[in-house]
Structures are given as structure tokens and as C-alpha cells.
Amino acid sequence: MPFPAYSTFLSFPGGEPAADWPVGVFSRGSTQPTLLFSDSVATTPLANPVMTDGEGRLFFYAAPGDYMVPLAGEWFWVPLDSSVTEVVWSNLWTHEQETPSSVWTINHHFGVSPSVEILIDGESVESVVTHPSLSQTVITHGSDITGIAYLRR
């Protein structure tokens, strides 16, 4: 299911729009940048910080959550864009590890320790899976590898 769209207009304290300005996006209460996408199916990642447009509008797709952005010493809440009426993705997080690594750190939005399925070259494999927090899963392999991990709530 697709990710929801988030959108808000940002202005500096004097009222001037924060046009073409880089802003970091964080889950409420977190200091880790959030995974952002330019499309609802989460295939095209956005850099975080992300740039506002020429009118100061911040727009991105992300997993359902409560997002905040800092600007000029203040924090702003980023609401859902009500014009996007797609069903919100909520039960599956797909992590594609494109750079070979023996440790895959996956930040997800579940708020619970998910079940994990790991595929290497299309084959299911067993690896050491830990959950340092309810929003992070770490997969440890015996060597540097690439593959896909499916996390399910």
C-alpha cells in the first residue's frame, strides 16, 4: 500500500517563506533523520535534509508518523496532505541492502519488533536479528552481502 504525503509551508520568524531551503525531517522525539521518498510507493528516496520549493512548501512521502522539522531555532509539525487520498501503508517495510555489508541497520515506523524475512539472491536465509528499539531492527550476517529484508508488523 502507498505511503501518505506530508506537506506544509515554512516561513522564517519575520514571515518570509523558507523558499529553496534545506530542512531536516525527524520523527517526533527523534534526532535521526527520517527516510523520505518522492513517490507514494517508496521507490525513489529523497535526501534528508530535503529542499523546500520556491514558495517554502515542504513535500515528501514517508511511513505513517508524526514528523517535525527545525527552522531558525523553531520546530514545525508537518501534517498529512489531505489532498492525497490513497490508503496508507502500514504492515510491511521492505529494506533493500544495495551496498554489501555484514550488518544491516533498518529504521522502521512500526513501534513493535517485527517479524523478519531475509532474501539473498531470491533465497530465504537465516541471520542474527536483533531489535535495539521498537523502531529499529539490526540484521547481522557472517559476511558482507546484499539482499532484501521484509519486516512485517
Domain shared by 100 and 73, yes or no: no
Cα 54 to Cα 72: distance, rounded to the nearest angstrom: 18
In a 3-state reduction of DSSP, which class is residue 108?
Answer: coil
- What pLDDT shows up at residue 85? 56
Domain shared by 70 and 109, yes or no: no
What grid cell was written down for 144?
Answer: 558482507
What is the number of domains present in the chain?
A: 2
DSSP letter at 35? Answer: P
Widest distance between CA atoms in the chain: 57
- What pLDDT shows up at residue 82? 65
Residue 26, domain extent: 5-78
Domain shared by 96 and 60, yes or no: no
**Rounded average pLDDT per 10-residue block, the chain, 153 residues:** 82 90 91 90 91 92 88 86 56 84 87 87 92 92 94 79
Q: Would the pTM count as exceeding 0.85?
A: no
Using alpha carbons, select from 115, 114, 120 the residue that is nearest to residue 141: 120
Cβ-count burial of 90 within 10 angstroms (0-12 exposed, 13-18 middle, 19+ buried)? Answer: middle
Using alpha carbons, select from 111, 115, 62 the residue that is nearest to residue 89: 62
Q: Which of 27, 55, 78 is the last residue of a domain?
A: 78
Domain shared by 13 and 49, yes or no: yes
- What pLDDT shows up at residue 69? 93
Residue 117 domain flag: yes
- What pLDDT shows up at residue 35? 93
Domain shared by 73 and 112, yes or no: no
